[in-house]
Amino acid sequence: MQRIDPRALGALEKLAGSADTKAVKVVLRSVNVAVYKVIKLMRLEPRFSFRT
C-alpha cells in the first residue's frame, strides 16, 4: 500500500487500543516507508512492531 487514508488510520488506532488493553503487541509486515512515516507522525509507532 502506498498511502493510508484517515479511515484506515482510525482503524489502526482502534487496533492499537485493543492490543494495549489485552497487553499484546501487533506486528505489521512489509510497511511502506511513507505509511511508516504517517504512523510515526501520529505517534502510533511505539505501539506496533515492524517486520520486513
Task: State residue 52's pLDDT score.
Answer: 84
- Quickly state the pLDDT bin for 42 (edges 50, 70, 90): very high
Q: Where are the alpha helices (DSSP H) in the chain?
A: 6-21, 33-41
Instruction: State the average pLDDT over residues 7-14.
Output: 93
Using DSSP bridges, classify how beta strands 26-29 and 48-51 pair: parallel, antiparallel or unpaired. parallel
Instruction: State the average pLDDT over residues 21-44.
Output: 92
Model pTM above 0.95: no
DSSP secondary structure letter of residue 30: S
Query: What is the distance between the alpha carbons of residues 38 and 41, in angstroms, rounded to a whole number?
Result: 5
Sequence-distant contacts of 3-7: CB under 8 A, at least 24 apart? 3/34, 3/35, 4/35, 4/38, 4/39
pLDDT over threshold 70, residue 1: no
